[in-house]
Amino acid sequence: MKLQIPLSAPDISDEEIECVTRVLRTPDLSLGPELHAFEEALAAYHGVEHAIAVSSGTAGLHLALLALDVGTGDEVIVPSFTFIAVANAVLQVGATPVFAEIDPVTLNLDPTAVEQAVTPRTKAVLVVHTFGVPAQMDVLMALARRHRLSVIEDACEAIGARFEDTGQPRLVGTFGDMAVFGFYPNKQMTTGEGGAVLTRDAARAARLRSLRNQGRRPGANWLDHAEIGYNYRLSELACALGKVQLKRLDAMLDLRRAAAERYSQLLKDLPGLVLPPLELPGRTISWFVYVVRLPEGASRDSVQIALRDRGIATGRYFPPIHLQPGLQAALKGEPVSLPRSESIARRTLALPFFNRIEVSQQATVALALGEALVVAQR
């Protein structure tokens, strides 16, 4: 059912439409000038040497793990309160995801829990900047150095967010050994489907370019394959779209911040409702979703149904990965104890949130949520 107020909506202007159309009038629909330009722009935006565009954020996670030689027998520390792709990518390379608890405010990996999860088999930490809130990168990077672990930043929900370690705030994606972005239509910027990997290392960049293109070394003949690779290329159409979206990113992030502030104003008096933090010291949030926490004891299902009946979409961001039925066999019944993640995940609710959400739509959501909460707590 298509609801009147969707959970998310892409923001496509005439400029995107013109740029994509222009590509369609050329013979280059893959591996052409748009790919090159989009990668250059992404790298320049972040001040990092290499950006490698790929077909999805998940593909980016897969290739980043491969490029860091994570494989069978290795453990990768990940959050469970996040999108399933994080664990799937680790399993895809034959490694084991080890879940660690989250911080109750930022909803990101708790560095203390990460430290406790380290074993002699730990090879990497996959740090997710959940909902666009930067993780505690200073502490996590120091911890990783101390244990000689690689760090992959999953910045799929956080392009444009900044974290201040010493001195100037830096963009997320510039801290770890590699960073991954995702451009699905619900993200802050989109290429339809798509993603990218950032790295400062030229050899790793070349490896990533080979892996995404069937193991062809850069510049090699089309039918010469130096290693087993994948088709994780991003089309010229997608790159043309991404180039314009990236140019508009900062303006789009301003719209999202304003929408988040309006929600917090509209919802501030609802009893027991926990709102996402608007400000956190040393952090600039890139607003991906607006997720509230329902009061203890309120039925989330009944709130979702009540809102849906009024044409308002909501989302359960995120059911913990370690409880997903599809992963049980792969997780081999290892006991996982994440009481904080589970208790938070039971109460989270994502509200409709996109660049062009209207004040009247937000007021409708706030009113409906307030009424639904009264019923849901009876």
Residues that bind ligand PLP (CB under 6 A): 56-58, 82-83, 85-86, 128, 154, 156-157, 182, 184, 195
Question: Which residue lies nearer to ligand PLP by CB, 180 or 369?
Answer: 180
Q: Which of 280, 278, 257, 261 is nearest to 103 (CA)?
A: 280
Question: Which residue lies nearer to ligand PLP by CB, 183 or 263?
Answer: 183
Residue nearest to ligand PLP (CB): 57
CB of residue 195 to ligand PLP, shortest distance in Å: 5
Long-range contacts of 12-18 (CB under 8 A, 24+ apart): 12/241, 13/244, 13/248, 15/244, 16/240, 16/241, 16/244, 16/245
User: How far apart are alpha carbons 53 and 41 in whole angstroms?
Assistant: 11
CB of residue 183 to ligand PLP, shortest distance in Å: 7
- The answer to whether 307 and 316 have CB atoms below 8 angstroms apart is no
CB of residue 176 to ligand PLP, shortest distance in Å: 14
User: How far apart are alpha carbons 319 and 155 in whole angstroms?
Assistant: 19
Pairing of strands 169-171, 96-100: unpaired
Question: Which residue lies nearer to ligand PLP by CB, 45 or 288?
Answer: 288
Question: Which residue lies nearer to ligand PLP by CB, 191 or 199?
Answer: 191
CB of residue 152 to ligand PLP, shortest distance in Å: 11
Phi, psi (deg, nearest 5) at residue 207: -65, -45
User: How far apart are alpha carbons 105 and 245 in whole angstroms?
Assistant: 30
CB of residue 69 to ligand PLP, shortest distance in Å: 21
Question: Which residue lies nearer to ligand PLP by CB, 314 or 364?
Answer: 314
CB of residue 242 to ligand PLP, shortest distance in Å: 12
Q: Which of 116, 121, 120 is nearest to 96 (CA)?
A: 121
- The answer to whether 313 and 361 have CB atoms below 8 angstroms apart is no
- CA torsion, points 224, 51, 205, 165, in degrees to nearest 10? -160
Question: Which residue lies nearer to ligand PLP by CB, 87 or 205?
Answer: 87
- Number of helices (H), then strands (E), in the chain: 11, 12
Question: Which residue lies nearer to ligand PLP by CB, 90 or 273?
Answer: 90
Question: Which residue lies nearer to ligand PLP by CB, 85 or 140?
Answer: 85
DSSP 293-333: EPPTT--HHHHHHHHHHTTB--B-----GGG-GGGTTTTTT
Map tokens 């994080």 to a residue.
86
CB of residue 210 to ligand PLP, shortest distance in Å: 20
CB of residue 156 to ligand PLP, shortest distance in Å: 4
Residue 290 structure tokens: 């607006």
